Amino acid sequence: MEQSIQPIVTHFSQNKMNNSLPSASPSTRLYFGTDGIRGRVGVWPVTPDFVLKLGWAAGKVLALQGFGKVLIGKDTRISGYMFESVLEAGFTAAGIDVHLLGPMPTPAVAYLTRTLRAQAGVVISASHNPYYDNGIKFFSAQGTKLPDYLEIAIEEQIEKPMTTVDSAKLGKAVRIVDAPGRYIEFCKSTISPDTTLNGLKIVVDCANGASYHIAPNVFTELGAEVIEIGIDPNGLNINLNCGATQLDLLKKTVLQEKADLGIALDGDGDRVILIDHHGQVLDGDELLYIVIKHKQTLGLFRGGVVGTVMSNFGLEKALTQMHIDFVRVPVGDRYIIAELAKRAWHYGGEPSGHILCSEMITSGDGIVTALQVLSVMCSTKKTLTELKQGFQKYPQVLINVEVTTNEDPLQNEHINHAVKHIQRELGEAGRILLRRSGTEPLVRVMVEGEDYVNVSRLAAELADRVKTALGRKS
DSSP code per residue over 22-84: PPSS-TT-SS-BTTBEEEETTSTTSSHHHHHHHHHHHHHHHHHH-S-EEEEEE-S-THHHHHH
Exposed, middle or buried by CB within 10 Å (0-12, 13-18, 19+), for 381?
Answer: exposed
Please name which of 205, 328, 329, 224 lies closest in space to residue 271, comparing C-alpha atoms.
205
* 309 φ/ψ sector (left φ>0, alpha ψ -120 to 50, else beta): alpha
**Structure confidence at residue 290 (pLDDT):** 98
List of residues 6+ apart from 232 with CB closer than 8 A: 208, 212
What parts of the chain have a pLDDT lower than 50? 1-27, 474
The correct answer on CATH 3.40.109.10 for the domain covering 31-177 is: no
* pLDDT tens string 40-55: 999 999 999 999 999 9
Question: What is the SS3 assignment for 355?
Answer: strand
DSSP state string for 210-249:
TTTTTHHHHHHHTT-EEEEES----SS-TTSS-STT--HH
**Structure confidence at residue 156 (pLDDT):** 95
The catalytic residue among 79, 125, 127, 437 is 127
Domain(s) labelled CATH 3.40.120.10 in the chain stretch across 31-177, 182-302+346-387
**Structure confidence at residue 182 (pLDDT):** 98
* pLDDT tens string 332-354: 888 999 999 999 999 999 999 99
CA–CA dist 265, 233 (Å, integer):
14
Active site (annotated) includes residue 375: no
Domain(s) labelled CATH 3.30.310.50 in the chain stretch across 396-470
The correct answer on CATH 3.30.470.10 for the domain covering 396-470 is: no
**Structure confidence at residue 28 (pLDDT):** 57
**Structure confidence at residue 17 (pLDDT):** 40
182-302+346-387 fold:
Alpha-D-Glucose-1,6-Bisphosphate; Chain A, domain 3 (3.40.120)
Please name which of 151, 150, 191 lies closest in space to residue 365, comparing C-alpha atoms.
191
CA–CA dist 58, 32 (Å, integer):
12
**Structure confidence at residue 333 (pLDDT):** 85
